[in-house]
Structure 1
Amino acid sequence: MPRFMGFVRMEEGIGVPPQSLFDAMDVFIGERAANGSFLDGGGLFGTEDAVNFVVRRGEITRVDGPYAEGKEVVGGWSLMEYASLEEAVADQQLFAELHAKHWPEVTVVSTLRQVSEGPDAPGD
């Protein structure tokens, strides 16, 4: 079955999500863990302790956070498995709807990407 990565991006420093979102996420993730579609995931701390290694023209530069130029940061991730792309997309939309309902005052980008199992394109 195809695996997918989900990412949640948002503006850094917007505060802690409301408890109702945490509660709804517990139910949402619990249901998907029980049916086997949620494999792993979690939230991420801010970029204050993040470390990037930038490779440019064969040279490596270390850049430590926080990043003044960063407008959006990845705040959470998940690894999921679904029978089809359509099923994964539908579930990711439900996930986004949780954020719209429980934290409507912020802008959240919920991204879904299929995990590559080799050189073939998705669905091959």
Structure 2
Amino acid sequence: MPRFMGFVKMEEGIGAPPQALFDAMDTYIGEQAAKGTFLDGGGLYGTEDAVNFVVRKGETTRVDGPYAEAKEVVGGFAILQYDSLEEAIAGQQEFADLHAKYWPECSMVATLRQISDEAPEAADA
């Protein structure tokens, strides 16, 4: 059964979502967990405590948050499992629709990506 990662990108520092969204999400996630499609997930803290390791030209540099240049940040994630890509897309649409309905002031992007179950092939050197 294919697994997917859903994540939300939105502007940081726009305030807390309304209680109605929290309530709707609790119901939605509970239903998805009961069906076996929601495996794990959660919201993320702000970037003030984030740590990035940037690799460029064979060098690794640590960059601590917050990141003033970031317009949108990943605010939450979910690990999901569906029978098909079409079902996963429909589920992510429902998730996005909850935000549109209960927090219309929020601008966000809900992204869905399939998780690879195979190791990547090495590039020829």
TM-score scaled by structure 2?
0.94
Identical aligned residues as a percent = 74
Distance 1:30 1:97 in 2: 17
Equivalent-residue separation in structure 1 for 2:36 and 2:68 (angstroms): 39
RMSD: 0.9
Q: Which residue of 2 aligns with 1:38?
A: 38
Q: How does 1:1-124 map to 2 (within 5 A)?
A: 1-118=1-118, 119=120
| Alpha-carbon distance in 2 for matches of 1:48, 1:29 | 27
TM-score, structure 1 normalization: 0.95
Letter in 1 for 2:4: F
Write the distance in 2 (CA, Å) between the matches of 1:8 and 1:54: 22
Structure 1 stretches of 5 or more lacking a match? Answer: none
Q: Quick one: distance in 2 between partners of 1:117 and 1:33?
A: 21
Distance 2:35 2:7 in 1: 20
SS state at 1:25 partner: helix
Taking the aligned partners of 1:32 and 1:16, their CA distance within structure 2 comes to 23
Q: CA deviation at 1:57?
A: 1.0
1:15 is paired with a residue whose SS is coil
Distance, in Å, in 2 between the alignment partners of 1:26 and 1:106 is 19
The one-letter code sitting in structure 1 at the alignment partner of 2:54 is: V
* 1:106 CA drift (Å): 1.3
Unaligned runs of 5+ residues in structure 2 are: none
Give 3-state SS (helix, strand or coil) of 2:109's partner: strand
**1:36 alignment partner AA:** G
Q: CA deviation at 1:12?
A: 0.4
